[in-house]
C-alpha cells in the first residue's frame, strides 16, 4: 500500500469518525463533552471557539428536544386517527 493510499484512508476514517461523533452528539445531547472539548475550555486555548461550541451544544440540545416533541405529536396524532376509524 502506497503512502498516499494510507493517508487517503486515514483521512476517510477521520472524516467518518467526525461524522459519527457529530451524529452521536445530535442523538444524545446529554452526553458529556469529549476530553478534547474539555481541555480547550479548561486551558482557554481558544476562548471564542469554546463559546461557540458551548452555544452550539445548547442549540443542539434544544433542536433535539424540539424534534422529540414533534415526533411525540405525530405519534399521538396517528394514534388518535387510528382510534377514530
Q: What is the DSSP string of 40-61?
A: HHHTTS-HHHHHHHHHHHHHHH
CA dihedral 10, 20, 60, 46 (to 10 degrees): -30
Q: What are the pLDDT digits (tens) for 25-55?
A: 788 777 777 776 777 667 766 677 777 888 8
Of residues 56 and 48, more confidence is placed in 56
Name residue, grid cell 451524529.
23
Per-residue pLDDT for 1 more than 70? no
Domain extent at residue 60? 3-84
Its pTM stands at 0.42
Poorest-pLDDT segment among 3-7, 8-12, 76-80: 3-7
Provide the domain count of the chain: 1
Amino acid at each position: 500500500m502506497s503512502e498516499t493510499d494510507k493517508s487517503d484512508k486515514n483521512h476517510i476514517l477521520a472524516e467518518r469518525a467526525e461524522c459519527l461523533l457529530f451524529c452521536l452528539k445530535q442523538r444524545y445531547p446529554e452526553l458529556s463533552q469529549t476530553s478534547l472539548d474539555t481541555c480547550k475550555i479548561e486551558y482557554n486555548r481558544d476562548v471564542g471557539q469554546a463559546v461557540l461550541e458551548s452555544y452550539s451544544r445548547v442549540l443542539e440540545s434544544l433542536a433535539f428536544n424540539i424534534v422529540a416533541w414533534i415526533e411525540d405529536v405525530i405519534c399521538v396524532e396517528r394514534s388518535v386517527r387510528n382510534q377514530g376509524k
